[in-house]
Structure 1
Amino acid sequence: MSTADLILLADRIHTLAGDGSPTAVAVGGGVITAVGDRCDVRDWCGPDTEVVDLGAATVTPGLVDGHFHPVMGIGLTRGVDLSSVRTINDLESTLAAANVAPGGWLEGWGLDPNVFAGAPITHAPLVAAVGPDVPVFLLFFDAHSAVVSPRALELAGVTGPRGFASGASVVCDADRRPTGHLLEIEALDLVRALLPDDEPADRRARLTDLLHRMAACGLTAANAMDFEADSLELFRALEDAGELPVRWRCAPFVMPGGGRDALDDVLARQRLAGRRWEVQGAKFMIDGTVDGGTAWLDEPDTHGESTACLWPDPAEYTEAARYLADRGVPIVTHAIGDAGVRFVLDTYAALPRTAVPHRLEHLETMPTALIERLAELDVTASMQPTHCTGWTRADHSDNWSTRLGKRRADRAFRARDLRDRGARLALGSDWPVAGFDPRGIIAAARLRRPAGQPDVEPVLPEQALTARMALEGYTSEAAAAAGLGGVTGRLIPGYRADLTVFGLDPLAATPDEFADSPVLLTVVDGRIVHRS
C-alpha cells in the first residue's frame, strides 16, 4: 500500500465489520487504506504522514444524521428560543422581556403545545404579553404550526377561514374569527411571507457556524430534507470559501398542487452537486403532526381530528411519487399516523425500486403489521428518538399521547420492533425540531428518556435500542439507507475515510455518560474537520 496521509491510534476502534479489535487505522487519498494494530504503523508511514495517538479514545465510523433541515432551519430559528418555556405564565413573561424594535416583529421558535395544558391554542397570551399592536409569529417545535398575534393576522389580511391546496388551515372560533393558530406550511406562509428577510451574508455565516457545530458533535454527514429558497446559492458560496465540514444529501420538497412543472423542477435539481453535497431524492409529506391534529390516523384523535391526508386527493401523491421513481428518484415521505404510513407503503409497493431505497420519516404510531410490511418492502425507516423522549411522557399525560389515547400511544416510536423485525433503521434529529447532538440522541434511543434525567420514567422502555443498534443507526444503517453500504458506514480498507473519535466508548459507557463524552476528532474525506 502507499503511505498514509493520516494514522489514528486508539485503544478501541469499532469497525462495525466484525473483525477483531484493531487499534490503528490509516487513511490516504480520502479512503481508509489499512486497519490493524499499533505495531503496523511503521509500515504505513511516510515522511508526510500525520500520526495522532488518541490513547484511551474510541474510533467509530463517521456519524450521519438521518433527517435535518439546514437551510430551512437557519431561517426557522430566529428570534426568541421558547424551547424551555413550560407554562402560559412563562410564555407571557418571556415575550414581555423580549426586545422588539418599534414597528418590528416579535419572532420565536421551539414552542411546546403542552404549554397550553390542553386548552385551545389562541393568541391571548401574546396580547397579554405585548399588547394587541405588536406583530408576533411564534413557531411551535414541530415547525408545522404557529400562533400569531391579531396584528400579524391583520397585516396578512387573514380575517377568516382559508382554503389551501394541502390540508393546511387557519383555525377559527365558532364565529369564524381566526384564533391565531395556524396549521401546516401553506397557512404559516400567509404570515411568514411578511417577516423581514435575513441578509445573505448573515445566512452564510449562520450556516457556516451550524456546520462547524455539527462537526464538533461528531457528525460527518447529514440528510437535508429540503433544498428550497437559497439552498443552492448557500452551498455553492460555502464551498467556494473552502471544504464543507459535513457531507450533505438533499431532497427537495414536493408539495400538493405543484403539478408537473414542480415535478420536473425536482428532476432537474437531481443533477446539482458539489464536492461534498448533492441533490438526491424528493421529500413528500403525506400528513402533518399528531400535536397539531393534522396527522392521518385510521380513527380520529380524541379531539375528532387527524382524519385526513395532507394531499386533498391522495391519488395525486401516488402519481407524483411514481413519476419521479420511474425516473430513478428515491422517494422520501413524512408519515406519522397509521393511516399515512399504510398509504405510503401501499404506494411504495407499486413503485420501481431505485438505487437508493425509498424512505419513511418519523413513523410515530403504527401497528405491528405495518412494521412487518415495511421490512418486507426494503423501505428505510428514519426515526428521531428525541421526538419521543422530549415531548411524550410515560404516563401519557402529554398532548401527543392524550390526543391519540392509550392504545395508539402504546404503539409509540417503535424503534426496537423495527430492528427486531429486520427493518433498516436510520436515526437523526430533525433539527431544528430537536437538537442535533448525536450523543444525546443515541443515549435517548437506548434510555427512552432524556439523557441526564434518571428520575424521568422511560417511555415504553421495551422499545429501547441496544448500544450497537443505536450506533448503527448513525453509521452502517445510515450508509445502507443512502445506498452507500459498500462505500461507507464501516471502517474497511477502500471505504470513505469519514471517522468520529469519542473520549468514551459508545458500546461500553452508560448512555448518560456517553451523552457527555468528549468528541476528540472528526474526520471527513480523510481530513480533520474538528479537533478538540
Structure 2
Amino acid sequence: MSRHSADLAVLGATVHTLDADRPRATAVALRGGTIVAVGDDAEVRAMCDARTRIVDGTGTVVTPGLTDGHIHPVTGMMMTQGVDLSGCRTPGQLRAALAEERRSGGGRARDGWLLGFGLDPNALGGSAPHRRLIDDVLDGAPALLTLFDGHAALASTRALELAGVTGPVGFPDSTAQVVCDPDGHPTGELREEPAKSLVERAVPEPDADELAAGLRTLMARMNATGLTGGHAMDLRDGGLPALRALEEQDAVTMRLRFAPWCQPGTGEEGLRELVALQGTGGRLWKVDGVKLFMDGTIDNGTAWLHEPDCHGESTRPFWLPPEKYARAVRALAGAGVPTATHAIGDAAVSYALDQLAPLGATPSGARHRIEHIETAPDELIRKFAASGVAASMQPSHAQYTLADHSDNWSTRLGDERADRAFRCGDLLRAGALLVLGSDWPIAHFDAREVLASARLRRPPHEPGRVPVRPEQALGAAEALHAMTVAPAQVAGEGDRAGRVRVGHRADLTVFAADPLTVPATELADILVRMTVVDGRVVHEAG
C-alpha cells in the first residue's frame, strides 16, 4: 500500500462533519488513526488503492465518534456486581429479589456476600433505608446494596458485623455518615463514599485479570452503541493494573480520559500524588484531571442547598469546611491539572463556580467543569454561562424524577426547586459549554439513549411517561454537538478531535439512520452500523 493511501474509506454515505467549513460530505478516508480526506466520493476515492478497505456507506450516516462526558468504567464494574435491583418498585419486590438471589446465587455472590445495585429509594415505600427491611430474607448472609445514585448503600446486620461497624463513626472532613438509630445502633444506611468504604473493604474484590476481562467486555458493549470515548470520573484501586494488562493485549477500544478522586481530608502529599499521576496512560487512555465532590445527592439528603429540603437535610457541603475544597482546587489548577467537581445542589454549584471561574483554562486548554447541576435558579444559570466553566449533565437522570413531583427527589426539594430540574436547554442557550453523558452505572451507557433523553426529557422506551420540564429539551444537532464537539473542547482537544475534519482523530460513529432527522422517539433504537476508534473498526453490525 502506498504510504499516501487510505487504510479505510467510507463512500456514498451522509457525513455530518460538525465542521462549519464543510458541514456535509458523502465520504471520508482514514489512515494511521487520522482523517486524511473528507469530501465527495471522487475526492475520497482518489486516496484509495487496491489495499484500502472501502465500505459502501449507502444509506448510512457518519458522525464524529460519540464521547460520553461522564462515566465510571472502573467503579461501575465494581458497583454492578450482584443483582440488579433497579426494577424493584416496592419493598415487597425488593425482598423477593433478594430472597431469589439468596436461593439461586446466580454466580454473583463473593465468598457468601450478596451484592446488589441500582436500588431506587422510591422503592422503600417512603421509609428510610434500614437493615430490618432485608435481614430476614438473607438467611444470615452479609449483604451490601448500593442505591441507584452510587452515593449511599444499605448494609445488612451481618455485613456491618464483618466490617466492624458497631456505632457512629466520625468523619471530621466531610458530611459522610453511618446513620444510627436513637440508641446509637447503625441502621445499615451508609451515606457517601467514606461511610460506604467501611463495609466495601470487607467485600472481596475481583483481581486485576477479572477486572480487565470485565472492562474489555464493557468497552465492546459501549462501542456497539456508538461510543468511541468517555471521560471517566474515577480510577479506583485495581484500575491501573487492569488497564495496563489490556494495553499489553492491544485490547483498549475506547479513548478514556481518567480523573481520579480527591476526597475530603486529602493533604499536600495526596495532592502531589494526584499531580504526579497526570499523564499516566497508554495509546488510547490517560489520566488527565481530578474529580472532587462539593456535595452528595438530593435523594439521600446529602446535597448542599441554600435552604434545607423537606426533612431539614441537605444543608452542608461535602468538604468541611468548604475552604479546604477551594484550596485543593487552586493547588491542582496551579499545577496545570483540570478539575471536575460534582455539585448538585444550588449552594454547591454556586460555591464551586465562585472558586473555578477565576482559574480560567489550564495550560493544555482543558476547562474546569462542574458535574450534574440538578437544580439551579435563573441567576445561577447566568453566572454559569459567564464563568467559562463547562457544564457536564446527564439527561437520563430525569428518569428518576416525575413531572408531578411525587418522587423522592422532587418531594425533598419542593415544587419551586423541582421546577428548576436539569436545565440543559437554559444553560446551552445562555452560552455555557454543555457536555452530555450517562453517569453509568447510574444510568445506562447507551449513547443513543442519552441523545434521545436529551430531546424527549423522559426515558425513550416509556412513551406514556410525562416529560420532565420539556422546555429544557435539546434539539437533535445540539445534543449531538454535546457528545462530540463539546467533550473535545472541554478536554482541550478541539483542534484535533470532535469533528470529521482532515487532520482530526479517526474516531467515527456510523448509523443506519440519521440521528439529526430520525424522530426522537426512535433514536434510541437505530442501529449502529460501525464504530471506528483511532482508525480501527471496533464494532461492526453483522
TM-score (norm 1): 0.97
Q: 1:155 aligns with which of 159, 162, 165?
A: 162
- Name the CA shift for 1:413/1:269 in 2 (closer, same or farther; >3 Å): same
Q: 2:446 aligns with which of 424, 437, 440?
A: 437
Q: Deviation at 1:152?
A: 1.3
What's the secondary structure of 1:278's corresponding residue? strand
Q: List aligned pairs for 1:2-401, cutoff 5 A.
A: 2-18=4-20, 19-98=22-101, 99-100=104-105, 104-131=112-139, 133-164=140-171, 165-354=173-362, 355-388=365-398, 390-401=399-410
Q: For 2:238 and 2:209, locate their aligned partners in 1 and report how far apart those are by CA, in whole Å.
A: 12
Q: For 2:490 and 2:204, locate their aligned partners in 1 and report how far apart those are by CA, in whole Å.
A: 38
| Runs of 4+ deviating beyond 3 Å | 99-103
Structure 2 residue runs without a partner (length 5+): none
Q: Work out whether residues 108 and 137 of structure 1, in 8 Å CA contact, stay in contact via their aligned partners in 2.
A: yes
RMSD: 1.4
Q: Work out whether residues 38 and 44 of structure 2, in 8 Å CA contact, stay in contact via their aligned partners in 1.
A: no
Counterpart AA for 2:41: R
Q: Deviation at 1:366?
A: 0.8
Number of matched residues? 530
What's the secondary structure of 1:350's corresponding residue? helix
- Name the CA shift for 1:103/1:484 in 2 (closer, same or farther; >3 Å): closer
Q: For 1:451 and 1:102, locate their aligned partners in 2 and report how far apart those are by CA, in whole Å.
A: 35
Q: Deviation at 1:180?
A: 1.0
Q: For 1:42 and 1:232, locate their aligned partners in 2 and report how far apart those are by CA, in whole Å.
A: 42
What's the secondary structure of 1:491's corresponding residue? coil
Q: Work out whether residues 207 and 238 of structure 2, in 8 Å CA contact, stay in contact via their aligned partners in 1.
A: no
Counterpart AA for 2:393: M
What's the secondary structure of 2:302's corresponding residue? coil
What's the secondary structure of 1:495's corresponding residue? coil
Give the fraction of aligned pairs with identical amino acids, expressed as a percent: 50
Counterpart AA for 1:43: A
Q: Deviation at 1:527?
A: 1.2
Q: For 2:44 and 2:100, locate their aligned partners in 1 and report how far apart those are by CA, in whole Å.
A: 59
Q: For 1:432 and 1:174, locate their aligned partners in 2 and report how far apart those are by CA, in whole Å.
A: 34
What's the secondary structure of 1:490's corresponding residue? coil
What's the secondary structure of 1:411's corresponding residue? coil
Q: Deviation at 1:20?
A: 4.8
Q: For 1:234 and 1:326, locate their aligned partners in 2 and report how far apart those are by CA, in whole Å.
A: 30
Q: For 2:409 and 2:272, locate their aligned partners in 1 and report how far apart those are by CA, in whole Å.
A: 37
TM-score (norm 2): 0.96
Q: Work out whether residues 280 and 286 of structure 2, in 8 Å CA contact, stay in contact via their aligned partners in 1.
A: yes
Q: Work out whether residues 325 and 352 of structure 1, in 8 Å CA contact, stay in contact via their aligned partners in 2.
A: no
What's the secondary structure of 1:97's corresponding residue? helix
Q: Work out whether residues 4 and 27 of structure 1, in 8 Å CA contact, stay in contact via their aligned partners in 2.
A: yes
Q: Deviation at 1:43?
A: 1.4
- Name the CA shift for 1:323/1:529 in 2 (closer, same or farther; >3 Å): same
Q: Work out whether residues 251 and 282 of structure 1, in 8 Å CA contact, stay in contact via their aligned partners in 2.
A: yes
Cα shift readout 1:237-269 (whole Å, capped 9, x = no counterpart): 101001421011111110111211110000110
Q: Work out whether residues 37 and 44 of structure 2, in 8 Å CA contact, stay in contact via their aligned partners in 1.
A: no
Q: Work out whether residues 152 and 190 of structure 2, in 8 Å CA contact, stay in contact via their aligned partners in 1.
A: yes
Q: Deviation at 1:432?
A: 0.9
What's the secondary structure of 2:55's corresponding residue? strand
- Name the CA shift for 1:468/1:516 in 2 (closer, same or farther; >3 Å): same
Q: Work out whether residues 123 and 148 of structure 1, in 8 Å CA contact, stay in contact via their aligned partners in 2.
A: yes
Deviates more, 1:95-104 or 1:359-368: 95-104
Q: Deviation at 1:315?
A: 0.5
What's the secondary structure of 1:479's corresponding residue? helix
Cα shift readout 1:161-198 (whole Å, capped 9, x = no counterpart): 11113210011122222111110001111111110121
